[in-house]
Chains A and B, each alone.
Chain A
Amino acid sequence: ELKVEQNPLFLSMQEGKNYTIYCNYSTTSDRLYWYRQDPGKSLESLFVLLSNGAVKQEGRLMASLDTKARLSTLHITAAVHDLSATYFCAVEAGTASKLTFGTGTRLQVTL
């Protein structure tokens, strides 16, 4: 059974600081997704990582995938308040397009 672990579960950081969210998973997979969820809203796709060594960047967020270590990271550079949200990683295993989600990291960026 595929298990996906995110840490930390909660992150409070000051504006301007850098931090990394980690996503570990338990079985082989070549597809990993990062989503953002604002309170009371649905999930918005941020990144799709499809191969070992994949790196994607959008603004202050950068995601990477190491399939050998079964690890993805979401790095936040010079955080701003607008990045406050819950971030989920999700791993797709097998051929059925099913996703297994991590429990999410609630990010709070303070002024």
Chain B
Amino acid sequence: DVKVTQSSRYLVKRTGEKVFLECVQDMDHENMFWYRQDPGLGLRLIYFSYDVKMKEKGDIPEGYSVSREKKERFSLILESASTNQTSMYLCASSFPIGGHSNQPQHFGDGTRLSIL
């Protein structure tokens, strides 16, 4: 089974702190994604990466950055946390479109982040 592991289930930080959310997958997936989930808004894509050291902005990248130094690990960074970044953050991974195109994105359990 695919395993996508997020480092924390719950995290509480203070406004202005630099926050790191870590995600590791064990399926050798090329693609990795960071979403945030808010009530009534569904999931919104923050950033994604289709290869080591590659990154692309999603729909809501402002206030976030990412790092992908190894294929299995994708980090989301809140440079200076603000209260409007309080949310559930979900990491996902997948193969690219092509040979494995019938496989969905696989999600981690999520990190519920509160910024005080």
Size of A's binding interface in residues, CB under 8 A? 24
Q: Is A45 an interface residue (CB 8 A)?
A: yes
Size of B's binding interface in residues, CB under 8 A? 29
In the bound complex, what is the Cα–Cα distance between A88 and B110 (angstroms)? Answer: 16
Determine if A98 and B96 form an interchain contact, defined as CB atoms under 8 angstroms apart.
no
**B contact residues around A62 at 8 Å (CB):** none
**A contact residues around B109 at 8 Å (CB):** 41-42
Q: List 6 A-B contacts (CB under 8 A).
A: A33-B104, A42-B110, A96-B97, A97-B48, A97-B97, A98-B58
**B contact residues around A98 at 8 Å (CB):** 33, 45, 48, 58
**B contact residues around A101 at 8 Å (CB):** 35, 42-44
Q: Which of B41, B103, B107 contacts A48 (CB 8 A)?
A: B103
Binding site for A on B (CB under 8 A): 31, 33, 35, 40-45, 48, 50, 56, 58-59, 90, 92, 94, 96-97, 101-110
Q: Is A107 an interface residue (CB 8 A)?
A: no
**B contact residues around A44 at 8 Å (CB):** 107
Q: Which of A9, A48, A90, A100 contacts B102 (CB 8 A)?
A: A48
